[in-house]
Structure 1
Amino acid sequence: MAKEQQPEVLKVLDVAKTQFYHFTAVVISGMGFFTDSYDLFCISLVTKLLGRIYYHVEGSAKPGSLPPNVAAAVNGVALCGTLAGQLFFGWLGDKLGRKGAYGITLMLMVGCSIGSGLSFGSSPTSVIATLCFFRFWLGFGIGGDYPLSATIMSEYANKKTRGAFIASVFAMQGFGILAGGMVAIVVSSIFRALYHADPYSVDPIGSTVSQADYVWRIILMFGAIPAALTFYSRMKMPETPRYTALVAKDQTKACQDMAKVLNVEIKEKQELAQPQNNRSSKFALFSKEFLRRHGLHLLGTASTWFLLDIAYYSQNLFQKDIFSAVGWLPSASSMSALDELYKIARAQTLIALCGTVPGYWVTVFLIDHIGRFAIQLIGFFFMTVFMFVLAIPYHHWTRPENNIGFIVIYGLTFFFANFGPNSTTFVIPAEIFPARFRSTCHGISAAAGKAGAIIGAFGFLYASQNQDKAKTDAGYPPGIGMRNSLIVLGVISILGFFFTFLVPESKGKSLEEMSRENEDEGDQVQPNRVEVTV
């Protein structure tokens, strides 16, 4: 089987020095992920507040809470939208180009973040229904950011530092989670201070003041700000040279675009250009040839992301329930609504600061040294270990004197999720598939992950709540459902460890080498020659 020569313009990309544009692209793409994670995870901060505002039973001394089906819908509907957006925009990115679909995602994110905060209605049901509508379309826009940002960054980076740059884009997710907690702390603190300063207002234990309705709306609408700030910059980004050269078949334009952003002068010699007519450029997605070359790779990237997100989103979206179960947070009836939000946000911020954010950035620093494969195995292995450490002696950790130890180990599961599969599952699909399928295959892999997240959001909510009630009624100690959920998450992490062996290592290799982009059964075709001056 013969190989075509790699187009010279792409060889130049692979060995180009790191330029200022690489860092600019990280910021522009990364701010999308900052917004994505803020919008996806800030909902977990306000669900208890929504329950107290809209589902309080008149005359009851117990604060209101969202019914399980409503809580699952509020937490999970954005994930459903994200799954659909990943598939749609992944496909669109390969059909229209990476840049062509990029602005649409931001417009959806800005508009629907604002719409989520403006969810009004004449009844609690209508408010929640409106919120779920906007959260779905918010998720749809967020979903598009996954394949587009990853593909754009991978196609501009050189092969030596490509992993670090793609991981840096995804690492902004950690700052988004951190920002969600900090915004909730600031907003709740302001409203608490206003009530304490007003002698005619009271915010007693177990109460929910009417102005708390503004709090959750402000928190949700804040997500529109970072997305809006990067809209202009995204629209100014040129199409990636790899898409232009390999999919659009316009090497002249690819040279021009690369010259603009990488500070090189490129002169192309056109006389050797020949039309390409080979099987490599013809086989279709999911054809026999695609499945022969990349079928196991796609299974590996999709399955590991699916398994990872069951565990990761179960932990993230229901942190507040886990904190309450082990006694780190007081019961809702012992706090006012604003106090409860403040303490939940403070706990989430602490976990993000000590476990989540460091995990992302350790990956950035090490991924091009020890490789994607090793990091993913390490992450799944230690996630499994710490899940079982939490679950097996679960009732030991629920004692008040031991809950700090629980939080430390719980934080380590986040560290090794992010220094591990939560980062690498994003990086690898952007590197190992052909250019004309790259965005689509990344979208499929990411959508498999969101299918896992939906299982985590819907399934484990019911599993922990309903099983806890059933077991408690039968005489078992409280929290048995949470313990069993942690055991299941540990088993899922073991499966992720073994499915990782389907994924190839891409460290130090060009995208064309990994994707076998230039492989063909026919004769060699001489590509255009270029002269490059830095």
Structure 2
Amino acid sequence: MGVFSKKKEVAHDNGESQAPRKGRKLGAIGTIFASGSAMFADGYSNAAMSPVLTILSREDMYGPWLVGGERNKSLLAAMVFAGMVTGQLSFGWVSDKIGRKFAMFLCTAIIFVFSILAACSAGPTPQVLINCLIAFRFFLGIGLGGEYPSGSVAAAEATEHNEVGKKKQQRLFIWATNSQLDLAFTVAWLVALALYKIFGDNHLRAVWRGTLLLGAIPPLLLLIARMFMEEPDAYKKNSMRHTRIPYWLIIKRYWLKLAAVSIVWFIYNWVTYPFGIYSGTIVEKAVGKNPSLYQTLAWGALVNSFYVPGTIVGSFISDFIGPKYTMIFGLLMQAVFGFAMSGAYNRLVPENGQGGSIAGFAVMYGIFLAFGEVGPGNNLGLLASKSVGPTAARGQLYGIAAAIGKVGAFIGTYTFPYIQKRFDTKGYFVQNTGLFWVGSALAVFSATITFFGVHNIKPDHMIEEDAAFREYLAANGFDVSQMGEPGHREGDVADDVVSSGAVPRDADVYEHDEKK
């Protein structure tokens, strides 16, 4: 153990040192949440489109312009994902070569501006209004997508800090990212329901515009919080901001891990986003003919609330058995409930609309969605940020995996109405259960890919991987001396002075000293 490590042990017995240590711990946790909480804006913006589509589809709103207009419906729901793919791919490079903080701040500003513009969409005809809404949601998607390779990556790097317990690393990342996203799904429906209760049927414009406008509040708060952030220590020590990135060496080392996570993410988003965005439509069918708008919004809020317990319970399982096996467990349980719900559909929702149990249907549908969060919802971002690449290229590799996932979301939301329409021609049972058969089968397929293609990770995986990556580069003749920021590189004079005990070092530095 190093000299400073012995000082650290003595300091633990000194009551005066407890306050600074608690401050460092709170600071580390605060950094995790400030980095990852933009996922709330992602979840809110996507989930809000379901009640908004439900409101816009009412004939007494803007006439029959959207009713039966599958193209408008599909573009409204899916265009944000096209923007997200653009943001994920472009901001991956920005995050790695310019900095995590700059990328996060710019993304948050984009989300804030275009959330407001989307809520203010207008035009001389309904179609012009919808065209504005589609365009603004595309640009909103760029900001949302950029958060994945910047904010989520920074949150993952902040979890592997000396002040964060090793048994809490995975759950803290999940709470700061996917749990925020899932909470937003519930909040979006509750906001729409509350606004409907306030304004009523005579002011539906205020309901859908207000639902979108309130999505600008979370990024505004994040803009303020991120002004006081610094770059993660892992980025300071291992980035390639001042040297070229050896892409070919990176591809040779990480392509298989990247491919496996990307395929599972594609399938998961292809299933999950349409089921979430169109949950109002699905529940509306189950409630019966001509449900009130209040019924549709209330049942949609109930169903989406199941995301939250799914992500919270699953976060503890991820720390206990690891992200890989938690993901397999969640996928298989999702398939079980999906098949069970399909088989029992006629008992839960009879064809004549009499009897049955809409509550039973909503609960089973909610559990189906919840297990998706226990598994891939929680762990795909975790695995993509921690296992598919080193700090030097983490933003770009994570961005590629997330972009492939969002392509799945785009395809799913765009094709969902057409698939649903095709099932409608196959009889009552198939038209209402076909989508669940498809979703459950894909969950089993995803679990299989995860078992054979995804590696489990342990605490401090990124620290160990960065060290192994340096050795790999050096063995292949790459000069690693320029990796990291000046003053944080291996062998810098500043580090030598710190190691002598003349000045204190960061917690994660003396942890490395302890390992030596």
Q: Are residues 83 and 129 of structure 1, via their aligned partners in 2, closer, same or farther at CA, if it must alter by over 3 Å?
A: same
1:522 Cα offset (Å): 6.8
Matched, 1:23 2:15: no
Task: Provide the residue aligned with 1:504 in structure 2.
Answer: 455
Structure 1, residues 164-218: CA drift from partner, whole Å, max 9, x if none? 22111121112211211121121101113xxxxxxxxxx5xxxxx3x21121111
Q: What whole-Å deviation, never above 9, does each CA across 1:386-419 have from its counterpart, x for those lacking one?
A: 1111223433332242332222211111211111
Counterpart of 1:43, as a letter, is: M
- 1:202-245 superposed Cα distances (whole Å, 9 cap, x missing partner): x5xxxxx3x21121111101000111112021122111122121
TM-score for both structures, normalised by structure 2: 0.82
Aligned to 1:360: 311
1:422 paired with 2:388, answer no
Aligned residue number for residue 71 of structure 1? 73
Instruction: Name the residue aligned to 1:454.
Output: 410
Which residue of structure 2 lines up, in the alignment, with residue 321 of structure 1? 281
Q: 1:409 to 1:514 in 2, by over 3 A?
A: farther
Question: Bigger relative contact order, structure 1 or 2, given CA contacts below 8 A and separation 6+?
Answer: 1
> Residues 467 and 480 of structure 1 are in contact (CA less than 8 Å); yes or no, is this contact kept in structure 2?
yes
One-letter amino acid of the counterpart of residue 280, structure 2 = K
Identify unmatched segments of 5+ residues in structure 1.
1-7, 59-63, 193-202, 204-208, 251-280
Deviations 1:439-492 (A, max 9, x none): 111111111111111121011211102431x33xxxx33x52332221111111
Question: Could you tell me which residue of structure 2 aligns to residue 343 of structure 1?
Answer: 295
Count how many residue pairs are aligned between Structure 1 and Structure 2: 454
Maintained 8 Å contact 1:304/1:496? yes
**1:435 Cα deviation after fit:** 1.1
Please list, as runs of the form range in 1=range in 2, the aligned pairs for 1:230-379 lying within 5 A after superposition: 230-248=222-240, 284-285=246-247, 287=248, 289-327=249-287, 330-332=288-290, 335=292, 340=293, 342-353=294-305, 355-379=306-330
Deviations 1:33-64 (A, max 9, x none): 11221111101111021122555249xxxxx7
1:4 match:
none
Which amino acid is the alignment partner of residue 380 of structure 1?
Answer: L
Answer whether contact 2:61 2:204 (CA < 8 A) is retained: no
Counterpart CA distance in 2 for 1:141 and 1:312 is 21
Query: In the alignment, is residue 517 of structure 1 matched against residue 469 of structure 2?
Result: yes
Q: 1:381 corresponds to which residue?
A: 332
Contact map agreement 1:26 1:168 (CA 8 A) in 2: no
User: Equivalent of 1:445, from 401, 414, 426?
Assistant: 401
Letter in 2 for 1:38: Y
1:261 is matched with none
Task: Show structure 1 runs of 4+ deviating over 6 A.
Answer: 522-526
Change (3 A) 1:19 1:66: farther
Using the alignment, how far apart are the partners of 1:120 and 1:491 within structure 2? 42
- Compute the TM-score of the two structures, normalised by the length of structure 1: 0.80
- Residue pair 1:392, 1:487 contacting (<8 A) in 2 also: no
Partner of 1:483: 433
Percentage of identical aligned residues: 26
CA drift at 1:155: 1.6
Whole-Å Cα distance in 2 between the matches of residues 247 and 291 of structure 1?
17
Q: Which residue of 2 aligns with 1:197?
A: none
Q: CA deviation at 1:66?
A: 4.9
Cα contact 1:372–1:505 (8 A) shared by 2: yes
Asked whether the equivalents of residues 47 and 66 of structure 1 are also in contact (C-alpha less than 8 Å), the reply is no
C-alpha contact (below 8 Å) 2:302/2:362 kept by paired residues: no
For 1:127-138, list aligned pairs within 5 A: 127-138=129-140
* Equivalent-residue separation in structure 2 for 1:351 and 1:485 (angstroms): 17
Question: 1:167 maps to what in 2?
Answer: 174
Distance across 1 between alignment mates of 2:198 and 2:101:
40
Q: In the aligned structure 2, how far is the partner of 1:403 from the partner of 1:188?
A: 22
Helix, strand or coil for the counterpart of 1:230? helix
**Structure having the larger proportion of residues in helix:** 2
- Counterpart of 1:35? 41
Shift of 1:518: 2.4
Verify the 8 A CA contact 1:463 1:481 in the aligned structure 2: no
| Matching of residue 186 in structure 1 with residue 194 in structure 2 | yes
Deviation (angstroms), 1:106: 0.9
Could you say what secondary structure the match of 2:459 adopts?
coil
- What is residue 413 of structure 1 aligned with on the other side? 368
One-letter code aligned to 2:26: F
The alpha-carbon deviation at position 283 of structure 1 amounts to 6.5
Match in the other structure for 2:359: 404
| Partner-residue secondary structure (3-state), 1:506 | coil
What are structure 2's unaligned runs of at least 5 residues? 9-20, 482-489, 508-516
Could you tell me how far apart the structure 2 residues matched to 1:139 and 1:95 are?
22
**What is the Cα deviation at residue 24 of structure 1?**
1.3
Distance change >3 Å, CA 295–CA 248, structure 1 → 2: closer
- Which sits farther off after the overlay, 149-158 or 435-444? 149-158
- C-alpha distance 527-345 of structure 1, shift in aligned 2 (>3 A): farther
Aligned pairs for 1:83-98 (under 5 A) are 83-98=85-100
CA RMSD of aligned residues (A): 2.6
Following TM superposition, by how much is the alpha carbon of 1:373 offset from its aligned partner in structure 2, in angstroms?
0.9
Query: Hey, what's the Cα distance between the residues in 1 that align with 2:143 and 2:343?
Result: 40
Do residues 124 (structure 1) and 126 (structure 2) align? yes
Map of 2:345 onto structure 1: 394
* 2:250 aligned partner, one-letter code: F
Residue 517 of structure 1: SS of its match in structure 2? helix
- How far did 1:248 drift? 4.9
- Counterpart-to-counterpart distance in 1, 2:347 and 2:150: 45
How far the C-alpha of 1:284 sits from its partner, in A, is 2.6
